[in-house]
Amino acid sequence: MLIDLYSQNYKIYFEKLHFNVEAIEDLNEEELDKLTKLATVIEYVVNRQPGAKLYDWIYSDKLKLEDPYTPGVEYSDLGRVKRMISAPKEFSTRNVFYEEETLKPI
């Protein structure tokens, strides 16, 4: 997905990110967790791609994790706290804290 969203034709791929916002209510916990992480990545990238379209479902209040998600960092690791404090808005509003460098194109 990141390859497509950072490609020269990125606007086409953002146009295809339709999702019925009402369907979020019907998602189970695992699906909601995955969609929240996906929404984080999509919003992060769209905010760095001029003219890319972002749909309303991305901003659903339901797309926020209860506990901070910090993949690859142990719970007691200082790096976890640093990642949470320095996170871009797209991450912190959803409680999803990827290593920002993993989301940037090379």
- 9-21 tens-digit pLDDT: 999 999 999 899 9
Average pLDDT, the chain: 91
Number of H helices, E strands in the chain: 5, 0
- The answer to whether residues 43 and 91 touch, using CB atoms and an 8 Å cutoff, is no
Residue 79's contacts (CB-CB under 8 Å, 6 or more residues apart) are 73
Residues of the chain with pLDDT under 50: none
> Where are the strands (E) in the chain, listed by range?
none
List the domain boundaries for the chain: 2-103
Q: State the pTM of this model.
A: 0.86
